[in-house]
Amino acid sequence: MSHKLVSLFVFYLIATIVSSIELDIHINLDPTTNQIAIDYNNLLHKYAPNDQVFLGSKSIPHITLYLTDFVQEQIPSIQNEISQIFPLLNEAGKNCIIQMTTIDISAQYGMWLVQNNQCLQYLSDLVVNSTFQYITPNQSIPDWVYSLPEPLRDEKIAMIKKYGSPNVFDQFQPHVTLAWDDIDNLTIAFNQVNIQPTSFYSPSIGIGNTGPYGTVLDNFYGTFNFNNNNNNNKRKIK
């Protein structure tokens, strides 16, 4: 192979390398419910000392609308897309009552389930449809997806290939992650905590960095405030 061909090949490899970042576009909890989630999480540590979720100190309570790997250079485009569709998001989100229901323990996760409704589904669908063009292409299929029964397995694989996430559209399952623990018995721990249903109106949508075990670390890339509960419709973007 000539030096010219080698150089062209190296250039091609460099050009095709995509810098990727995992971002979570999510619903933020109102201050009261946010503190309730933190308090529950802190109490869980008493009964599940190996829980690896630390709400309030290392991560924030949230309800994911869209979680995937994006092309890092496209972050300004993602922020702009959310800004452009925010009038629609605000109209649906400002009066969207969010009902926290029961606890679901799946594998090592303890999740406080949210009753899905028309407005939450709309928020997730709109965010996904507006931003999936900026995802990192050819994302890998998680091992757990291959263990699913058909036709669910093929449905989730198709979603990952197109949207970079198995949990969008009819697979959207809103929740707040309260625990991840592969040592302690989470069923016993949650029975001790006795989490109660509650409801609230979200103050905002956020775009943030992710941590381990389904956590979100911040709203670093944007906070988009709904025009409700005397909130001003301000958009803070970094």
Q: Which two tokens stand for residue 236?
A: 């803070």
C-alpha angle with apex 217: 37 to 81, nearest 5 degrees? Answer: 105
Tokens 């198995």 identify what position? 166
| pLDDT, tens digit only, all 238 positions of the chain | 555 554 444 444 444 577 999 999 999 999 999 999 999 999 999 999 999 999 999 999 999 999 999 999 999 999 999 999 999 999 999 999 999 999 999 989 999 999 999 999 999 999 999 999 999 999 999 998 999 999 999 999 999 999 999 999 999 999 999 999 999 999 999 999 999 999 999 999 999 999 999 999 999 999 999 997 544 434 444 4
DSSP for 135-198, written as a single string? BPSSPPPPHHHHTSPTTHHHHHHHHHHHHS-SSSGGG---EEEEEE-SSS-HHHHHHHH----E
How many whole angstroms separate alpha carbon 91 and alpha carbon 207? Answer: 19
Is this model's pTM higher than 0.85 or not? yes
Tokens 């309570």 identify what position? 61
Cα 148 to chain centroid, rounded: 21
Three-class SS state of 224: strand
